[in-house]
Amino acid sequence: MSAEIICVGTELLLGNIVNTNAQFLAQELADLGIPHYYETVVGDNPQRLQQAIAIAIERASILIFTGGLGPTPDDLTTEAIASFFQTSLIEDPAILTDIKAKFAQTGREMTPNNAKQALIPQGAQVLPNPVGTAPGMIWQPRPGLIILTFPGVPREMKAMWRTTAVPYLKSQGWGKEIIYSRLLKFRGIGESALAAKVAKFFDMSNPTVAPYASLGEVKLRLSAKASSVETAVELIEPMASEIIAIAGLDYCGSDEDTLASVVGKLLTQRQETISVAESCTGGGIGQLLTSVGGSSAYFSGGIISYDNSLKIQLLGVKAQDLAEFGAVSPEVAQQMALNVKHRLNTHWGLSVTGIAGPEGGTTSKPVGLVYFGFADPYDQVDCLVFHFGPDKDRETIRYLSVHYAIDQLRRKLSKFT
């Protein structure tokens, strides 16, 4: 008793457009508590579309099609479905009248090829399109199987889904439960290490836990099926609280939280401000911190001292230290952090200096070597070093440096007294 989404269109396979329809429908199915385990993308080919249908009907009881309902020769979804179930197509006069009226409203004359949009399998119901010309259908070609079709235009598909499809599915007994999820985010720990720490939760059936990783971050999605959001939250919260306690400072937020928003909340709670001195990241830390609305309350500004002369002139880094230790060194990172704090009159100072590559690395200072300086409200200065590795490209090193810097700041703010 699950749904399968089948998106039709060669343009999807070629990567010409992003498949936002599948994302929308997946979220909507979760809100209705309808499981869905497969999504299929198939080109504008009737034989391959029928092969997709043959597979889908063996594993799902609701098939949701998007795309292929237009007037052109490559719009073959309706014909392919009818042919698969050996059912004749009939012209629906009400659909044809509606299409003609919509053309007349815009001052256009309907061309003959648009008439194919009025064809639906015998016995199917029309799924009206309030904002476009291509209607869909609701059809039960056999007991226990529901087929819904939508045009590929997202605006039209969403309107049709919400106004007709959702009420229909609920009338058929679907939607009595919802699937509610909470996303927990972690940094400074790998996916396998986190999975080992919370392994006991993976055997649970409701709520369920699913891990996945992105660049520099690991996520756990906690999902519960229940009769209401409130009940689902009650199921999830004890598990979430225990996982957060296990993870400690590696836990960095939930759902819509970002590193920047979490750091912003911590600084706001402490009524403290921060300034940054950046070299290899070229302003990326300041950009991320100011991505949060209201960040002017705690972020004063920054100095991008890419050239060594600016490190001396604007940040007061000692020329002797630059000559002796180099720009990429703990001595320079510490001076950058402390001096930007003083010059911009903030509670905290954060600095970064490193080698993003692809050139410039040496045996002692390879590409990917980055130093981070942190000056606290009491002028205590700490320096951290991270080797991001020569296998990463320039933009990846810069991206990871920005997020590592802000994550380490988050940890210091969380622990600082």
pLDDT tier at 63, thresholds 50, 70, 90: very high
SS3 for the chain is CCEEEEEECHHHHCCCCCCHHHHHHHHHHHHCCCCEEEEEEECCCHHHHHHHHHHHCCCCCEEEEECCCCCCCCCCHHHHHHHHCCCCEEECHHHHHHHHHHHHHCCCCCCHHHHHHHEEECCCEEECCCCCCCCEEEEEEECCEEEEEECCCHHHHHHHHHHHHHHHHHHCCCCCCEEEEEEEEECCCCHHHHHHHCHHHHHCCCCEEEEEEECCEEEEEEEEEECCHHHHHHHHHHHHHHHHHHHHHHEEEECCCCHHHHHHHHHHHHCCCEEEEECCCCCHHHHHHCCCCCHHHCEEEEEECCCHHHHHHHHCCCHHHHHHHCCCCHHHHHHHHHHHHHHCCCCEEEEEEECCCCCCCCCCCCCCEEEEEEECCCCCEEEEEEECCCCCCHHHHHHHHHHHHHHHHHHHHHHCC
User: What is the rounded distance in angstroms from the CA atom of residue 170 to the CA atom of residue 190?
Assistant: 41
- pLDDT recorded at residue 11: 94
Q: Tell me, what's the pLDDT at 313?
A: 97
Residue 370, classified by CB atoms within 10 Å of its CB into exposed (0-12), middle (13-18) or buried (19+), is buried
The pLDDT assigned to 417 comes to 55
Q: What is the mean pLDDT of residues 374-392?
A: 94
Q: How many whole angstroms separate alpha carbon 229 and alpha carbon 226?
A: 7
Residue 408 CA to residue 388 CA, distance in Å, equals: 15
User: Any residues with CB less than 8 A from the CB of 259 and at least 6 apart, and which?
Assistant: 187, 252, 253, 288, 403, 406, 407, 410
**Would you place residue 390 in the very low, low, confident or very high pLDDT band (cuts 50, 70, 90)?**
confident
| Residue 129 burial (CB count, 10 A) | 25
In the chain the domains, ranked by start, together with CATH numbers, are 3-171 (3.40.980.10), 178-254 (3.30.70.2860), 259-415 (3.90.950.20)
Confidence of residue 184 (pLDDT cuts 50, 70, 90): very high
Alpha-carbon span 292 to 213, nearest angstrom: 24
Q: pLDDT > 90: what percent of the chain? A: 82
State how far the Cα of 405 lies from the Cα of 278, in Å rounded to an integer: 11
Residues 283-290 have a mean pLDDT of 98
What does the chain come to in residues? 417
Identify the band that residue 54 occupies on the pLDDT scale cut at 50, 70 and 90.
very high
- pLDDT, mean of residues 217-223: 96
Contacts of 320 (CB under 8 A, 6+ apart): none
Q: What is the percent of the chain where pLDDT is above 70? A: 100
- Written as six digits, the tokens of 125 are 């119901």
Q: Which residue has the tokens 């001096």?
A: 339
Q: Quote the pLDDT of residue 70.
A: 81
Q: Which of 353, 344, 302 is nearest to 325 (CA)?
A: 353
At residue 92, the pLDDT reads 83
pLDDT at 411 over 90: yes
**Six token digits for residue 271:** 């009524």
User: Which among 238, 189, 182, 184 is positioned nearest to 411, based on CA atoms?
Assistant: 189
Question: C-alpha angle 200/202/207, rounded to 5°?
Answer: 110
Beta-bridged to residue 121, according to DSSP, are 89
Mean pLDDT of 57-77: 92
**Of residues 212 and 329, more confidently modeled:** 329
Q: Which two tokens stand for residue 73?
A: 């020769």
Report the pLDDT averaged over residues 179-188: 94
Instruction: Note the pLDDT of residue 161.
Output: 97
Task: Give yes or no for a contact between 295 and 289, defined as CB atoms under 8 angstroms apart.
Answer: yes
Mean pLDDT for the stretch of residues 144-165: 96
Query: In which band, very low, low, confident or very high, does the pLDDT at 107 lie, cut at 50, 70 and 90?
Result: confident
Q: Which residues pair with 42 in a beta bridge?
A: 8
Record the pTM: 0.80
Radius of gyration of the chain (CA): 28
Cis peptide before 358 (omega within 30 of 0): yes
